[in-house]
Structure 1
């Protein structure tokens, strides 16, 4: 009775367990489906569904192909070995036990092992579908390599495919051979009796054929390896050197032929049954491989190349130089000798008046707090830590500007945070704030050319709402108030009124939640049941997510490496994010491999992650825009001659628009990308040398100087965007520049300028066609017999100057801090001019930096004044040639030192009083006379106030 009840209870639990299991599986499946379907909706709404489907179908197709390619041969190998087993084989007791264990599981193992191996192979091939697609759609470059005379496309697209295919089929044949060997052994086709190996005829033929195919594949692999020498890095350079060309490559060719001959010996064995020849041949192949691929090249390198390395390697170094410069787009850099003077003569800047008038004195890395205090308005708005630099046509003149988007910061909502507020009410930022880069107010504040809420200024009428930005919320639900009262907070009240302005999103920015099924999908995706339950969600609602501009471009153009710094611009009445996209490769022959993350790392960009970090080829092939209002992504083919982009365009047809469709307004805001420029400057630090002998000796290697104004002075100085007229240019142009100093360490390090790299970043404003000068690289090389101070040395001169340091110490007394802005370098006046803004900021919670002083240097002379024209006039003997002469009270100092600061009687008197008060206060402290201490402290405060007023 007990047993019957137990059985009945167990049987009654079985359907329940099955039901629960089915429900769990269905729930997991629906979660997976929700994730997949939401991706389909996102890509479909954006108009790039073909990108997602291409990836899915290609991955699925290559998974199936990889699964079949592995599973079928392994299964066939096991099946043949089993079916051809000897029926009356005499087995050992040990093999009998093996068969007893395996036989019940034989069918499972026969299909399960190949299926498991096929699964791994399928996953591997699915992740490499791009390699095959690039091979199938490869586009010739029109350039050939210097060793084999093959088009560069062979190395970019074909060689990786051949290597992957050979690797896959080698693994398939090897695993098939192992499966056949084990099956044959277990079922008696292979046996060892009295130290004698016996192999049945069927097993012999099968294993010999598999061995022949495997060795033949290794022969093909060895033949292909000779081409890979052109992309391998040795200690001296990337690419085949003397030992590779004269020893390793011929050795690989011979070894490949030997491998094919050994493969034929295996075929012979399949018919003759004699294993001695293939075994000896295989041993010979291994020994020959060691000799030809390692031993002989080592001997040539050690005894032929090493004694005469400079002369023997010269032709191959020249290849490396030429191909590296071509791969990084610096082959046509204009090298201009610049005989820089260090004498600041009167009127020296007269010919460069336009450049000096365009010098940016507003540091985008320091004025974030100024923007926040003056233009944030509410805590739920924010500005980025470092602002961007752009330019606009103001009154018919190009004006460098410091710009930032007023983005939404939901953390500032405080105690009002709720799902409703975070998702439905606080949905977007508002407005672009822009300040003149060359101006500041009398009290040191930025001068805005576009500001306020509602936004107003010189940029005309444009859509100010920012639903898609770098700091946008994870997701928002918008547009649901169509036909009813708006609920999305547009912007706060102006002035002292409490009235808020609300809006309803009217664009097409995200998938519509027009049925309960879609709401359920997104409720699961974002783990939020309110999406289903809230009455704020209607059939008119749209859900916005994946809102970061880089994220959106990365998803629709997965083949691009994106610049680390998207920047906002007002273009054609819209606010858009402009993002530079690069096509990259690490397979360009003879080109040096560079870590992209290391190349772009400096004080402005501390870290960035790239899908492919080590590259030796890069092109700015695409300019992308993301509409800040509706998130629309537009891709423009910028480098229409790039073979890599052309190949991807075949894979993703119609996703990129031609450059001819770019408007003139958009072109006027396109710039030469910073990350590409950084990679190029990293290359040109060594590859500005085109002489193989000098390159070998590294006697003229350069490096980017460290940023002397950064908190961590061990990081590189970033490049800066400025409007300037560099030598070789006919007129000032928006440009990006960087400097070089000698690449030396320890006591040999010299912080003197050796080079100045500038790229024309002005694409003009003619629709569909960039200006002829855009992208031109100019490298100013300074003479070795003239010492031009580098940024670090100039900053030291600023810090060490007694008059400057005295005023800086004065400005930093009490509750204020002195902040030194970006140290800019400009090739003007026949030399190099350094300009650095100096900000003062109090330590209060609501304080922000105020631009109070300008430091300038030319050669060893420096000046420190309230405005840039004053500082330049002082520096150049009262007549810089860019402004009116200084007043009589502002004439240069007659001190015999190099400083040309201006004497100020009131300032000196105040400083003397402050010095006396400090001494009296210290004496009172030591004596314990706190009454006298308080009186001295009051005198000190008063003296500092007078000194500060006198210095303004």
Structure 2
């Protein structure tokens, strides 16, 4: 038995050991936490945005302290007052005696511990909502007022949410203080129930009555604020206050708030008189009045007054909703242009739109990624995105739409060479920008590159081609740590002119330095990689780069912005920059319709995103951001200088955003109207293009974006908007634009796939330093006449598929081991009507196959054409004289037909022979250039021989 009982000596030996182990565990956990925080400090400091992190810390800490004190002090005072004012000779029953026996030894702990615990919870709650308070404290006037209360819009955006949160917090504080006072007074005899009689000591009566009065007064404030919340309520016919709200709910809330103040005063009277009857009766009346004024009376008014005459009574409030929704989404200035579209394709109809038709993009960025990969990837450790981007460059003084992508690093392609050393120190970056003409193809259907190859060469001039920061970059890399005489970072593989791979050493400032053992230990812990600490390849010059996705970097330095989902790379001022559009948003704009942002930008029906939590009813493209693909530097530029939300955030984060005036001319020439904003606006305009309240109520002219007719696997996918350079009716010159179409919204089971509207935004900001063009962002809505049936995208696609001649050729193209892929179906308002253009690709089923552009489908009205090139297709569609450049005539305008030259079609004319020869020469020239860029000299020789032969035939035909 004696052996089973530990001796005091053993206990004394074990206790210090246990304490030591516990302290070490705590210190280890604390160091891990510190390492994570310190790594964040190093990252933000290197990037130049440390104030973003410190502002969050200081604000969160300050509001934690404020919340802690606001909760803990009143609860502590409530307990203290109740205890100190307890009756000295209170007669307690046996049950309370037992309570006191249990509580008294713990009284001091509970007196301090309970308030402290509640204070911690309140502090955590307020700390997480520091943005709400900071926005209210720094709010900037919008200069606009709501139509009901004439309050500045900023009151709803910034102040009202904070006031409501503050009242809710203080109500909770007062309620918990009252509960603490009630329990303390009961336990210590200030409140007693004897012989069915409630006895309340004077001190307890005063304390509880005052607390109740404060609580009811806070409810009066909350009720008063509720009337303003009707401006953003979406429970009725529209978002915002309707007839019933204005004439019943709002007056009822105002009356109820006054009643609550009177009841609070009755509790104050009770504190002095000791009569509880009046405040209790008043409280009951308050509850009854609340039911009548906020539920009963509004229901009666809605049911018996509004519903029978809803259209006429709600008309002024629907008008408010229309006006403020259009303002909140930036569509109030949309220019509506009646477009009396014709459906007859007549000869020469496109002459006035020659500039637009010459800029029609026939290369589909969603289909040619495989072509880029096959022709320009070179190694398996490079890759391109599944869908490429669209940009434009000034080539020989002319704006040229192009399809672009960066050649990013794909470490999965390293294969058996995977190791920490290779993945972290050797394979660190991608290489080069690849760009293809959007309007051209080679003779065999390949893209024609204007920038390609390794090393990069082409029309974009000299620029830094290394891509250390991209959408597919590794989690982290360690760069710049070796001497320049012995670099280890693989720059690019051996090419035809070089027998060895080229290495480089990062020379920028892209990440925190690993110049001491402590920093290396911190990042070894962060990335769970002891090699960072132990490897001799990590030197004092090494930098660790991480958080490399452009969207992630901008989100971290500007957490208050909502980012566009489509960043795109562009060559600007000798650098590859990622350009990212950023938005300020709110869901508190009065009378504006609330939308799920993720729903409207997803190209999917709203029902598929019914549970999203990113509701907005106000959006502005307030910031343009860039991320340098080489060193990861982030630059933010103000884009909407009048946005009250951005100006408020700039007061919280001063000096983080540069003015637009600092944007270079070249950068200005590459920013564009953002895709996600345009999608949100087209979603709203589907309903809110109607500005007449009566028609809006009837929903007799609601539109919707058509489904994508080329989406084979998802028939519910909306058609994406497209960027094109074109001249829109109402515009003076062609401009880089983004557009989308509308068809009637389905009514029940019936739907008509005919065009009703065409929305286009001028996406070209110009090329002037720090100043965007006056037309940038101009929205034009072409409204088509109801008595003319213009086929919609779905109907046109069906016409293509059902046409016998087209089907026959497509079947021929798809014979054997090939697939036919239909590209984006573009719609252009030219020739007095709507022209549809669709590239058709052919792809073999082999492992190394890629799409080749072989045919062009075009449609105008119900007439279609299917030819090898776009000009030929347009000529066929418009009776042989579309008025566009003839590709077989060296770019000259197609000549007028000469009846004397017509030989009945039995034998080709001299002009036809010449044209065929010139067409062959142009194709051979394009093939030769493509072969040169690709370094395929065998193909170069074949194409050169074909060019010589074609030119010989052309000269012979010319002599004839």
Residue 498 of structure 1: how far off its partner (Å): 4.3
* CA distance in 2: counterparts of 1:903 and 1:155, whole angstroms: 77
* CA distance in 2: counterparts of 1:282 and 1:3, whole angstroms: 67
**Which structure 2 residues correspond to residues 463-478 of structure 1 after superposition, within 5 A?**
463-478=464-479
Deviations, residues 903-947 of structure 1 (Å, cap 9, x unaligned): 999xxxxxxxxxxxxxxxxxxxxxxxxxxxxxxxxxxxxxxxxxx
Aligned with 1:819 (options 815, 818, 821): 821
* CA distance in 2: counterparts of 1:608 and 1:665, whole angstroms: 39
Aligned with 1:741 (options 743, 749, 752): 743
2:878 is the alignment partner of 1:876: yes
Aligned length: 892
Contact 1:873–1:885 (Cα < 8 Å) also in 2: no
Aligned with 1:834 (options 812, 833, 836): 836
Aligned with 1:759 (options 758, 761, 768): 761
Q: What is the aligned partner in structure 1 of residue 331 from structure 2?
A: 330
Q: 1:885 to 1:597 in 2, by over 3 A?
A: closer
* CA distance in 2: counterparts of 1:66 and 1:714, whole angstroms: 49
Q: 1:340 to 1:800 in 2, by over 3 A?
A: same
Residue 609 of structure 1: how far off its partner (Å): 13
2:269 is the alignment partner of 1:268: yes
2:621 is the alignment partner of 1:620: yes
Contact 1:820–1:838 (Cα < 8 Å) also in 2: yes
* CA distance in 2: counterparts of 1:616 and 1:48, whole angstroms: 30
Q: 1:606 to 1:265 in 2, by over 3 A?
A: closer
Q: What is the aligned partner in structure 2 of residue 54 from structure 1?
A: 55
Q: 1:31 to 1:77 in 2, by over 3 A?
A: same
Q: 1:903 to 1:724 in 2, by over 3 A?
A: farther
* CA distance in 2: counterparts of 1:716 and 1:839, whole angstroms: 22
* CA distance in 2: counterparts of 1:904 and 1:52, whole angstroms: 78
Specify the SS of the correspondent of 2:780. strand
Q: What is the aligned partner in structure 1 of residue 152 from structure 2?
A: 151
Contact 1:475–1:545 (Cα < 8 Å) also in 2: yes
Q: What is the aligned partner in structure 1 of residue 852 from structure 2?
A: 850
* CA distance in 1: counterparts of 2:413 and 2:610, whole angstroms: 29
Specify the SS of the correspondent of 2:449. strand
Residue 115 of structure 1: how far off its partner (Å): 1.3
* CA distance in 1: counterparts of 2:447 and 2:748, whole angstroms: 41
Gaps of 5+ in 1: 892-901, 906-952
Contact 2:605–2:716 (Cα < 8 Å) also in 1: no
Gaps of 5+ in 2: 895-904, 909-960
Q: What is the aligned partner in structure 2 of residue 914 from structure 1?
A: none
Q: What is the aligned partner in structure 2 of residue 699 from structure 1?
A: 700
Q: What is the aligned partner in structure 1 of residue 297 from structure 2?
A: 296
Deviations, residues 729-768 of structure 1 (Å, cap 9, x unaligned): 1111000000000011444200000000000000010101
* CA distance in 2: counterparts of 1:145 and 1:633, whole angstroms: 37
* CA distance in 1: counterparts of 2:843 and 2:907, whole angstroms: 23
2:82 is the alignment partner of 1:81: yes
Specify the SS of the correspondent of 2:363. coil
Specify the SS of the correspondent of 2:635. strand
Q: What is the aligned partner in structure 2 of residue 557 from structure 1?
A: 558
Contact 1:564–1:608 (Cα < 8 Å) also in 2: no
* CA distance in 2: counterparts of 1:214 and 1:395, whole angstroms: 74
Deviations, residues 543-586 of structure 1 (Å, cap 9, x unaligned): 00111001110011111000001000000000000000000001
Q: What is the aligned partner in structure 1 of residue 310 from structure 2?
A: 309
Residue 235 of structure 1: how far off its partner (Å): 3.4
* CA distance in 2: counterparts of 1:401 and 1:493, whole angstroms: 28
* CA distance in 2: counterparts of 1:500 and 1:392, whole angstroms: 31
Deviations, residues 803-831 of structure 1 (Å, cap 9, x unaligned): 11111122112210000000000000000
* CA distance in 1: counterparts of 2:877 and 2:116, whole angstroms: 80
**TM-score, structure 1 normalization:** 0.92
Residue 190 of structure 1: how far off its partner (Å): 1.0
Contact 1:874–1:886 (Cα < 8 Å) also in 2: no
Contact 2:605–2:717 (Cα < 8 Å) also in 1: no
Residue 606 of structure 1: how far off its partner (Å): 13
Q: What is the aligned partner in structure 1 of residue 577 from structure 2?
A: 576
2:864 is the alignment partner of 1:862: yes
Q: 1:675 to 1:362 in 2, by over 3 A?
A: same
* CA distance in 2: counterparts of 1:464 and 1:847, whole angstroms: 27
* CA distance in 1: counterparts of 2:65 and 2:499, whole angstroms: 63
Q: 1:618 to 1:556 in 2, by over 3 A?
A: same
Q: 1:604 to 1:843 in 2, by over 3 A?
A: farther
Q: What is the aligned partner in structure 2 of residue 782 from structure 1?
A: 784
Q: What is the aligned partner in structure 2 of residue 802 from structure 1?
A: 804
Deviations, residues 39-84 of structure 1 (Å, cap 9, x unaligned): 0000000110111100010001001100110111111111111111
Residue 103 of structure 1: how far off its partner (Å): 1.9
Deviations, residues 107-164 of structure 1 (Å, cap 9, x unaligned): 2221121111111111110111111111111110111110011111111111111111
**Which structure 2 residues correspond to residues 535-684 of structure 1 after superposition, within 5 A?**
535-602=536-603, 613-684=614-685
**Which structure 2 residues correspond to residues 196-207 of structure 1 after superposition, within 5 A?**
196-207=197-208
Bigger mean CA offset, 798-807 vs 356-365: 798-807
Question: Aligned-pair RMSD on alpha carbons?
Answer: 2.0
* CA distance in 2: counterparts of 1:167 and 1:813, whole angstroms: 70
Specify the SS of the correspondent of 2:232. coil
Deviations, residues 662-717 of structure 1 (Å, cap 9, x unaligned): 01000000000000000000000000000000000000000000001012020100
Specify the SS of the correspondent of 1:741. strand
Contact 2:356–2:725 (Cα < 8 Å) also in 1: yes
* CA distance in 1: counterparts of 2:484 and 2:352, whole angstroms: 63
**Which structure 2 residues correspond to residues 198-277 of structure 1 after superposition, within 5 A?**
198-277=199-278
Bigger mean CA offset, 805-814 vs 318-327: 805-814
Residue 496 of structure 1: how far off its partner (Å): 7.9
* CA distance in 2: counterparts of 1:638 and 1:904, whole angstroms: 62
* CA distance in 2: counterparts of 1:669 and 1:607, whole angstroms: 34
* CA distance in 1: counterparts of 2:391 and 2:683, whole angstroms: 24
Q: What is the aligned partner in structure 1 of residue 898 from structure 2?
A: none
Residue 2 of structure 1: how far off its partner (Å): 4.1
Q: What is the aligned partner in structure 2 of residue 506 from structure 1?
A: 507
Specify the SS of the correspondent of 2:770. coil
Deviations, residues 235-286 of structure 1 (Å, cap 9, x unaligned): 3110000000011101100000000000000001111111111110000000
Contact 2:589–2:617 (Cα < 8 Å) also in 1: yes
Q: 1:459 to 1:608 in 2, by over 3 A?
A: farther
Residue 369 of structure 1: how far off its partner (Å): 0.3
Q: 1:185 to 1:40 in 2, by over 3 A?
A: same
Specify the SS of the correspondent of 2:134. helix
Q: What is the aligned partner in structure 1 of residue 902 from structure 2?
A: none
Contact 1:86–1:189 (Cα < 8 Å) also in 2: yes
* CA distance in 1: counterparts of 2:846 and 2:610, whole angstroms: 37
Q: What is the aligned partner in structure 2 of residue 722 from structure 1?
A: 724
2:143 is the alignment partner of 1:142: yes
* CA distance in 2: counterparts of 1:723 and 1:796, whole angstroms: 27
* CA distance in 2: counterparts of 1:427 and 1:608, whole angstroms: 38
* CA distance in 2: counterparts of 1:45 and 1:510, whole angstroms: 6
Specify the SS of the correspondent of 1:229. helix
Q: What is the aligned partner in structure 1 of residue 183 from structure 2?
A: 182
* CA distance in 2: counterparts of 1:800 and 1:138, whole angstroms: 60
Contact 1:62–1:125 (Cα < 8 Å) also in 2: yes
Residue 610 of structure 1: how far off its partner (Å): 13
Residue 100 of structure 1: how far off its partner (Å): 2.0
Residue 482 of structure 1: how far off its partner (Å): 3.0
Contact 1:597–1:609 (Cα < 8 Å) also in 2: no
Contact 1:480–1:542 (Cα < 8 Å) also in 2: yes
2:38 is the alignment partner of 1:37: yes
Specify the SS of the correspondent of 2:7. helix
Specify the SS of the correspondent of 1:666. helix
* CA distance in 2: counterparts of 1:87 and 1:49, whole angstroms: 59
Q: What is the aligned partner in structure 1 of residue 392 from structure 2?
A: 391
Residue 885 of structure 1: how far off its partner (Å): 9.8
Contact 1:561–1:610 (Cα < 8 Å) also in 2: no
2:489 is the alignment partner of 1:488: yes
Contact 1:212–1:263 (Cα < 8 Å) also in 2: yes
Bigger mean CA offset, 582-591 vs 740-749: 740-749
